[in-house]
């Protein structure tokens, strides 16, 4: 797989170290790697505004100027696909991951044995980025990327497929449609499947999605959904 990876950290030694791990991992896993390194969030954002084709971002949380969380929020305005791995020295930032759908947090000093499995997960997620499902639209059908689906809702004998921009409605049972999806989707209610990538918040009664919609959470499901988010994160 061809991967475009950015390391953004104001510490030059840390940038070099993370870059070396990523390069060695890519070589070992037979990935073709394009690696970019940035000392400031603003520098990455400048390139990203011109080249929106980055696959993976290894991102320091605490940096002068724009911090990592602010940068991740800016990136998420354009892409739900890019895999973001936060590098931080503090547990207090972990909660920010819900807002930007971070793949994982790693505490400094970063252990190669912990980073490489996360890189494996990122590559696995990216391998599904072109996976699509055919949904009814108007007089015909269109392909919708799984990564673009925010949630799926049962409406009697129909399912409504919600993306950030569109709502597609087709005659099919929710259970049958679920068979077309992958492990990033989780059933939070008898009538709703959510894409864990697009969950931004959860309470005992509902799940808040990236498009602002609130999906009901079945009673007693909070623990399971929360655990799924932790595993996926």
Q: Which helix (H) or strand (E) holds 136?
A: strand 132-137
Position 19 scores a pLDDT of: 96
Q: Are residues 161 and 69 in the same domain?
A: no
- Given this model, what pLDDT does residue 185 score? 92
Helices 68-76 and 41-50 cross at an angle (nearest 10°) of 10
Mean pLDDT of 65-84: 90
CATH number at residue 191: 2.40.50.1020
Question: What is the rounded CA–CA span in Å between residue 106 and residue 119?
Answer: 12
Backbone torsion region of residue 101, taken as left when φ is above 0, otherwise alpha when ψ lies between -120 and 50, otherwise beta = left
Residue in the structure block whose two tokens are 């890519």: 26
Together in a domain, 86 and 146: no
For 13-36, what is the mean pLDDT? 93
Q: What residue numbers bound the domain in which 221 lies?
A: 132-232
Encode 54-89: b = buried (16+ Cβ within 10 Å), e = exposed: bbbbbbbbbbeebbbbbbbebbbeebbbbbbbbbbe
Comparison of pLDDT for 96 and 214, the residue scoring more: 214
Asked whether residue 98 carries a pLDDT value surpassing 70, the answer given is no
Is the pLDDT reported for residue 55 higher than 80?
yes
pTM above 0.85, yes or no: no
109, 127, 145: which is the final residue of a domain? 127
Q: Residue 215 pLDDT more than 90?
A: yes
Q: Would you place residue 139 in the very low, low, confident or very high pLDDT band (cuts 50, 70, 90)? A: confident
- The count of domains in the chain is 2
In this structure, what CATH number is given to the domain that contains residue 21? 3.40.50.2300
Residues 138 and 119 in one domain: no
**Same domain flag for 113 and 91:** yes
Q: Return d(Cα 207, Cα 226) in angstroms, integer.
A: 10
Task: Find, among 13, 14, 11, 35, the residue nearest to 24 by Cα.
Answer: 35
Mean pLDDT of the chain, nearest integer: 89
């Amino acid at each position: 797989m061809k991967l475009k990876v950015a390391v953004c950290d104001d510490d030059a030694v840390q940038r070099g170290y993370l870059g070396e791990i990523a390069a060695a991992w890519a070589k070992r896993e037979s990935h073709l790697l394009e690696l970019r390194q940035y000392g400031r969030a603003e520098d990455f954002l400048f390139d990203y505004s011109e080249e929106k084709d980055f696959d993976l971002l290894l991102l320091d949380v605490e940096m002068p100027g724009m911090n990592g969380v602010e940068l991740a929020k800016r990136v998420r305005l354009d892409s739900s696909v890019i895999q973001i791995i936060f590098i931080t020295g503090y547990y207090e930032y972990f909660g920010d991951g819900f807002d930007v759908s971070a793949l994982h947090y790693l505490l400094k000093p970063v252990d190669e044995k912990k980073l490489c499995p996360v890189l494996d997960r990122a590559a696995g997620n990216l391998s599904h980025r072109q996976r699509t499902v055919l949904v009814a639209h108007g007089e015909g059908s269109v392909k919708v990327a799984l990564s673009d689906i925010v949630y799926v809702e049962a409406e009697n004998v129909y399912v409504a497929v919600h993306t950030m921009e569109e709502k597609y409605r087709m005659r099919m049972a929710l259970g049958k449609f679920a068979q077309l999806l992958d492990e990033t989707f989780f059933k939070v209610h008898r009538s709703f499947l959510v894409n864990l990538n697009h969950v931004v918040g959860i309470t005992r009664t509902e799940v808040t999605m990236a498009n602002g919609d609130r999906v009901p959470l079945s009673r007693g499901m909070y623990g399971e959904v929360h655990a799924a988010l932790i595993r996926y994160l």
